[in-house]
Amino acid sequence: MIHENRIDSALKELFDNLTFTDEPAGLYDPLRYMMEIGGKRIRPRLCLTTYALYKDDFCKEILSPAAALEVFHSFTLIHDDIMDKADVRRGVPTVYRKWDENTAILSGDVMSIESYKLIAKAPAEVLPEALELFSKTAAEVCEGQQYDMDFEDMECVPMSDYMKMIGLKTAVLIACAAKMGAIVAGASAEDCDLLYRYGYDLGLAFQIADDWLDTYGDPAVFGKAIGGDIVNNKKSWLMTRAFEVAGGRREELVAAMAMPVGTDGEKEAKIAAVKDIYGALNVGEEAKNEITRLHAQALSHAAALNLQPEAYALLENYAKKLIGRTK
């Protein structure tokens, strides 16, 4: 089994050495920009972690698939920021703000292609399974984004629809990362399935935590402005739950959502009004409880793997770090 410090060093080495074509610079510079501004690297880290459960050291056979997950994720962020009209990502200007929308769209497209070039370097004996998983996941992420956009025209959505949307938009890629590492390591089909379920539940918890942080987080830590979901009437877990339990405060919530956001002052006023309603309805605490429940459910799948204690600790520590942002 590989220890956590070796995972850290492999992850650093992987992205220190990841390169893209130089020309044309207008196409590839945004790719390098996205990779250089960092991020949590949670998907490649999970891929390397699940691989580490079964192997004694990292080989190049796992490094390219792990990188593919981050490159694909970065592609989705480039396009997501255009659709959300987001100005800041990871504390710096988004690609379409630094360049322009057309450049961001095309650079995102080529980033998606680069991710497939990387996944194609998986070992030949598992390549069909790896490609099938990756392609299915890629389509599901796009489906989730479409649902997210469809929800923008609705006043509210059922919680079941919201959970389906984040399952596709966020959770499946984290689940894919967990399963990919196991596939390349040659794990059993049963173990691969349990690790997928572990990653999926963690992915749900991660997205709900992201929703919570968008309202209650520290901008310096979160990496982008707080309150963006409220300003844009995004169907977050908090907004969805607020409509479920609003009762007599429903009209107040609808009115708060309709407040103008043309100036910074108006944005701040809307955020404050909605947060007041969230506080009265206790949806912030309910979100944290749901995160805790999903965290425990993910660990139950990990426990079913019957790993040695030190191997289980890798999955336990990963989950703790991923979800601990809302503490």
User: How confident is the model over 299-322, as pLDDT tens digits?
Assistant: 999 999 989 999 999 999 999 999
CA 139, CA 118: separation in Å to the nearest integer? 17
Mean pLDDT of all residues in 192-196: 98
Q: CA 180: distance to chain centroid?
A: 16
Question: 24 preceded by cis ω (within 30°)?
Answer: yes
Q: CA 268: distance to chain centroid?
A: 26
Task: State the CB neighbour count (10 A cutoff) for residue 97.
Answer: 17
CA 147, CA 165: separation in Å to the nearest integer? 6
8 Å CB contact between 51 and 58 = yes
Q: What is the mean pLDDT of the chain?
A: 94
> Please, which pLDDT band fits residue 222 given cuts at 50, 70 and 90?
low
**Which domains, ranges and CATH numbers included, belong to the chain?**
4-326 (1.10.600.10)
User: How confident is the model over 259-283, as pLDDT tens digits?
Assistant: 999 999 999 999 999 999 999 999 9
Q: At a CB cut-off of 8 Å and minimum separation 6, what does 222 contact? A: 213, 214
User: How confident is the model over 56-66, as pLDDT tens digits?
Assistant: 888 888 999 99
Q: CA 5: distance to chain centroid?
A: 23
CA distances from 303 to 72, 194, 238, 264, 300 (A): 29, 9, 30, 48, 5
Instruction: Tell me: pLDDT of 326 over 60.
Output: no
**3-state class (DSSP) for residue 93:** strand
Least confident piece of the model among 31-40, 195-204, 249-258: 31-40
Q: CA 150: distance to chain centroid?
A: 19
Instruction: Tell me: pLDDT of 327 over 70.
Output: no
User: How confident is the model over 33-74, as pLDDT tens digits?
Assistant: 999 987 889 999 999 999 999 998 888 889 999 999 999 999
Write phi, then psi, for 92 (nearest 5 degrees): -130, 165
